[in-house]
Homo-oligomer: A and B are copies of this chain.
């Protein structure tokens, strides 16, 4: 690095942004602590609610502890491997780099784990309190639910900004950041895919034995799987979602930083800009969260959406101001990030069109159900496929526009523009997570209000809160999918930067792209494209196998525990939680390993070109399948609810039976496989970037 006068200025500038980042993190953490204490000071007076909340919390802890124990072993092994061979084999490179990389990896897992733990803590703390607050009206109940979720949102984003800034400030090496990001991804894979298997295992087993075999209602405490089922909601939706978005957020930041550092001439400025956008996003989320409230008879959907729009507007204004103030911050990049945000909103709206029961698609699927379950499935699959169209076009257009906007700045800025579009979109992730975590909290609160006998008016309020959670989910999901799409594209850019660094060190010619017509690239594309399909299939089959195991255990308990059927003795809830836990982790490992081993195989056979193709194929088919599965799943779920609300003959009709079958098919689509595909893509992208130098040195072709 040349230390010209301007260089010194840029150095100072970067230090300024490190400082501002840490300051923002402190503000966010302090605000989160305030919200946490605010929620905690409410008292839970209803005995039954308190009891059930505690059972759910205990179950979630069982899963988390078990998961973290296995993850600890896994992370230790990976850390040792990283220490030995990354970024370069220890016998060839510098031991300090390898040690930093291994430590950064561990830091990534630990910070993500903390975010997940806190999420569960807050969610299980807030659900009962939200239920109780609902007795006093919607205003306070909304605040309890929303602020509970906001604690998680602020902590996830705060942790990720803190981690990224600290690792880069200490090491000054963006390649080490990839290790940090890989740590976050490892954990996200366990949390999201493992949690997804857990939750659907319990759901399916509880339904199969309880509703179908024994004819006892859902949530009946005699069913040994019932607590596991409730735990699953928290484990999958709260902890899993938190780890997933922590991962996406870190990956977006890291890929932008890796690309920024490769831009000759403007490295420091660009790195400063990335941090500037990240911290302003967190700040905007703090303001957005602080302003969220509903009036006495207000509309919670409106409150959630308007605080999202407030956050978005604040972010756009603040980044515009920053662009105006700091020389070297480009308006083109600001434009790229704004386009990203806009497209995120559009994707949200179109997703909503396919999964909202006030729109025609859900009703068509409900109507098709009247002809039998095959038509529920066929129409859901068809509309699920079609639903991918607007999102894919949106991602394609935003990538194209971001690229074209930023290409004139200079070499390499085009792909940096795409990365910044992803960063911009994910900058308001604090708000997004708050809205997302609000969903399961008020969902649980509704169940608790019913079980605790809080009366009809309270249940009505809880229902309204719950329904708002479902509605905003579509918009937040749009952001997540759009951001994930752009992030993985920029991860492809980050991979190319890493490959070229390795090629330069090896004294070879750098590559300027990946040509489809190159056979190794094409080879990689075909294999990369099939991996998300196989990965999804393995997770879905894993849910099925694991559910069968739990069914066996439930049968055992009913046979061996006397008085269980009569309700005079209690089932062994922990045993079911334990089965769901160990089974989930057992089923997850082969799927994760398959994806990683395929990456390594393609890399060793075809070298970096093949991996470029592999990542592309993986991204394209991964996005398509993730959109298809998530949206089809949501569509079936809402069609079932629509029928249950009285359409097509209502509950108990043939249409209802068919809709239930559609919903059961959709469950592992939308809660296990669909949302795990993003993590799978991130994991293989990071493995590729980390192993870039090895592929350069050792590939066959």
Contact = CB atoms under 8 A, between A and B. Distances in A.
A509 B414 CA distance: 22
A617 to B, nearest CB: 6
Given A396-B527, A526-B396, A529-B621, A513 B519 contact: no
Contact of A515 (B418, B514, B520): B514
A537 interface: yes
Interface in A502-518: 512-518
Contacts of A512: 515, 517
Interface stretch (A138-146, A367-375, A461-469): A367-375
A379 B544 contact: yes
Interface in A656-685: 661, 664-665, 668
B496 A517 contact: yes
Contact of A516 (B379, B521, B541, B665): B521
Interface string A386-417: 10110011011101100110010000001100
Contact of A620 (B379, B381, B620, B661): B620
Contacts of A208: 371
Nearest to A406: B519
Contacts of A516: 492, 513-516, 521, 612-613, 616
A624 interface: yes
A540 interface: yes
A418 B516 CA distance: 14
A493 interface: yes
Contacts of A541: 379, 382
Contact of A513 (B368, B517, B526, B530): B517
Interface string A232-260: 00000000000000000000000000000
Taken together, the copies of this chain in the complex come to 2
Contacts of A628: 533
A315 to B, nearest CB: 24
A200 to B, nearest CB: 10
A11 to B, nearest CB: 30
A539 to B, nearest CB: 9
Contact of A392 (B389, B514, B529, B612): B529
A485 to B, nearest CB: 8
Given A392-B530, A518-B513, A530-B388, A523 B399 contact: yes
A77 interface: no
Contacts of A407: 519
A534 interface: yes
A534 B624 contact: no
A489 interface: yes
Contacts of A621: 529, 620-621, 624
A536 interface: yes
B368 A544 contact: yes
A489 B522 contact: yes
Contacts of A371: 208, 548
A225 to B, nearest CB: 15
Contacts of A379: 541, 544
A211 to B, nearest CB: 11
B392 A527 contact: yes
Contacts of A537: 381-386
Contacts of A523: 396-397, 399-400
Among A384, A392, A493, residue most surrounded by chain B Cβ atoms (within 10 Å): A392
Chain A binding site: helix, strand, loop or mixed by DSSP? helix
Nearest to A364: B541
Interface string A476-504: 00000000000001001100100000000
Nearest to A402: B519
B529 A624 contact: yes
Contact of A519 (B414, B526, B538): B414
A374 B527 contact: no
A548 B364 CA distance: 13
Contacts of A492: 516-517
Contacts of A620: 525-526, 529, 617, 620-621
Contact of A661 (B372, B525, B527, B624): B372
A519 B701 contact: no
A324 interface: no
A478 to B, nearest CB: 16
A530 B377 contact: no
A566 B415 CA distance: 72
A290 interface: no
A537 B492 CA distance: 30
26 contacts: A368-B544, A371-B548, A372-B661, A374-B661, A379-B541, A381-B665, A382-B541, A385-B534, A386-B538, A389-B534, A392-B527, A400-B701, A404-B519, A407-B519, A489-B522, A493-B517, A513-B518, A516-B521, A516-B612, A516-B613, A526-B620, A526-B623, A529-B620, A529-B621, A530-B624, A621-B621
9 interchain residue pairs of minimum CB distance: A513-B515, A403-B519, A374-B664, A382-B537, A396-B526, A385-B533, A385-B537, A513-B517, A392-B530
Interface of A: 208, 212, 368, 371-375, 377-379, 381-386, 388-389, 392-393, 395-397, 399-400, 403-404, 407, 414-415, 418, 489, 492-493, 496, 512-523, 525-527, 529-530, 533-534, 536-538, 540-541, 544, 548, 606, 612-613, 616-617, 620-621, 623-624, 628, 661, 664-665, 668, 701
